[in-house]
Amino acid sequence: MYYVIMDLEWNNAYSRKHNGFFNEIIEIGAVLADDSFRTLDTFSVFIKSQLGKKLSSRVKKLTKISNEDLKTGVTFPRAVKELKKWIGERDCVFMSWGNSDVRTLVENYKFFLGSDTVLIMKKYADLQKYCQDAMGLGSANQVGLSAAAMQLGIDVEKYETHRALEDCRLSLKCLRKCQSIYAKGALRDYVMNCDDSFYRRLAFKVHNITNIHNPKIDRSVMNCRCETCGEDMLRLSDWKVANQAFRSLFYCKSCNQLLLCSMRFKETFDGVFVITSLKKVEKQRT
């Protein structure tokens, strides 16, 4: 098995066809690695933009890519052809830091090639998810590549981050570090076949449910236990929405303590997950 660590840079451009903004890919970077995650080859290409005639100042500043750089690029269909040729007949698992790159790739495939799927990608693994799990960071928040690399003790200064190929190199370095701390063979569980369900999952917009009457909200879980004594607490107020979570005041009789409970119902492709947090309210009940 081979691995293709991929990273894209894109420019948010106005599209008449979409009657809205569209993330047009301007650079593709990739590193080909073997089973032991040794680098075999690298790939890098600029893409001449078709929609956005000029790069936004945010993208220019972030990536240090200039409009002149893009003039040396090829069209998106040409870039994909080159990438395909570079991969050849190898059986590969594609990887990227988070799935936003894949989502953008799918959008560009649809726009420029009229295809609903990324034909060159047969298997995919989310490197960000793998590394966060390996580092014990959970999945409630997404950790950026540089932040994760720093936590892993990697000298980020050595990398020109926010450039496609450099981000791939840094991602691979993170992957190697995480391999040494995570269960052997754990990566296998992160590899998905790029089938219908993969694309449905990708298209699913993870969001927080903020309407308490939504039938997907299980009211029976909306109670709180005291962090100190483990007793069920008494709810003192109605649930109110704040910061996309439901919030209510609870009281622990045994501890004579007030706690503010916040419950976030995160709906993902796999179901609804509840994230609860408790905060002590300083003033004690008399």
* Residues contributing to the site for Zn ion (CB under 5 A): 226, 228-229, 252, 254-255
Q: How far apart are CA 124 and CA 4, in angstroms?
A: 9
Q: How far apart are CA 253 and CA 226, in angstroms?
A: 9
Q: Which is nearer to Zn ion, 97 or 250 (CB)?
A: 250
Give the Å distances, CA to CA, from 21 to 46, 147, 181, 260: 20, 29, 41, 40
Q: Which is nearer to Zn ion, 62 or 255 (CB)?
A: 255
Instruction: State the minimum distance, in angstroms, from the CB of residue 262 to Zn ion.
Output: 18
Helix axes of 196-203 and 100-113: crossing angle, nearest 10 degrees? 110
Q: Which is nearer to Zn ion, 8 or 252 (CB)?
A: 252
Instruction: State the minimum distance, in angstroms, from the CB of residue 275 to Zn ion.
Output: 21
Residue ranges in 88-235 assigned as alpha helix (H): 100-113, 127-134, 145-151, 164-181, 196-203
Instruction: State the minimum distance, in angstroms, from the CB of residue 256 to Zn ion.
Output: 8
**Hey, is 53 helix, strand or coil?**
coil
Pick the closest to residue 107 from 191, 42, 12 (CA basis).
Answer: 12
Instruction: State the minimum distance, in angstroms, from the CB of residue 233 to Zn ion.
Output: 7
Q: Which is nearer to Zn ion, 48 or 225 (CB)?
A: 225
Q: Which is nearer to Zn ion, 88 or 230 (CB)?
A: 230
Q: Which is nearer to Zn ion, 139 or 276 (CB)?
A: 276
Name every residue whose Cβ is closer than 8 Å to that of residue 22 and which is 6 or more positions away in sequence. Answer: 12, 13, 14, 15, 51, 107, 111
Position of tokens 């501890």?
Answer: 255
52 and 81 in contact (C-beta within 8 Å)?
no
Element at 85 (helix H, strand E) = helix 76-87
Instruction: State the minimum distance, in angstroms, from the CB of residue 252 to Zn ion.
Output: 3
Give the Å distances, CA to CA, from 276 to 118, 152, 270, 280: 37, 28, 19, 13
Q: Which is nearer to Zn ion, 193 or 277 (CB)?
A: 277
Instruction: State the minimum distance, in angstroms, from the CB of residue 255 to Zn ion.
Output: 3
Instruction: State the minimum distance, in angstroms, from the CB of residue 222 to Zn ion.
Output: 18
